[in-house]
A = this chain, B = another copy of it.
């Protein structure tokens, strides 16, 4: 027998930290994180490809490899996946391009990324740190929080 939510918490439980959330809610937190992890890498690739296309006019596998600090083989394998998912089109030794759907994903991802990054800067975080944190955080920020971050940034940085 375990995890009887109905029994009152022992007195020690208020010494520090919040109470444990009910099991279902707690479980949902972890599930949300696991789901985010599944899409995270895909979104990172697509977002980076979008950025490269926008800033450089082309997105080569080699650029992705060096910017992600990952081997070319890894990138090659990943591109095959992105292809199968219908997010990019690729011809060997040519620049990658995003499909309609890939483009949409890149835009959404970049928008989210920008909001988090600008929010952190508005909060007072140094640029380099803000960039690192934003990269990690962006996939875990809900729309609700995102909206609040955006409002905050607008108010605190004219």
CB–CB B63/A3 < 8 A:
yes
Q: Is A103 positioned at the interface, with any CB of B under 8 Å from its CB?
A: no
C-beta contact mask, A2-24 vs B, less than 8 Å → 1, else 0?
Answer: 11000001101101111111010
Q: Is B129 a contact partner of A133 (Cβ separation < 8 A)? A: no
Find the B residue at minimum CB distance from A70. Answer: B30
Q: How far is the CB of A14 from chain B (nearest CB, A)?
A: 9
The verdict on A73 contacting chain B, using a C-beta distance below 8 Å, is no
* Known contacts A31-B69, A66-B27, A142 near B129 by CB under 8 Å: yes
Which of B17, B69, B110 is the one whose CB lies under 8 Å from A114?
Answer: B17
- Residues in B whose Cβ lies below 8 Å from that of A152: 123
- Interface size (A, Cβ < 8 Å)? 67
Given A63-B2, A69-B30, A144-B126; A13-B55 close (CB under 8 Å): yes
* Residue A139 lies at the interface, judged by CB distance under 8 Å to chain B: yes
Which residues from chain B contact A117 at a C-beta distance below 8 Å?
A: 18
Interface residues of A (CB under 8 A from B): 2-3, 9-10, 12-13, 15-21, 23, 25-33, 36-37, 44, 51-52, 54-58, 60, 62-63, 66-70, 110, 114, 117, 120, 123-126, 128-133, 135-137, 139-142, 144-145, 148-149, 152
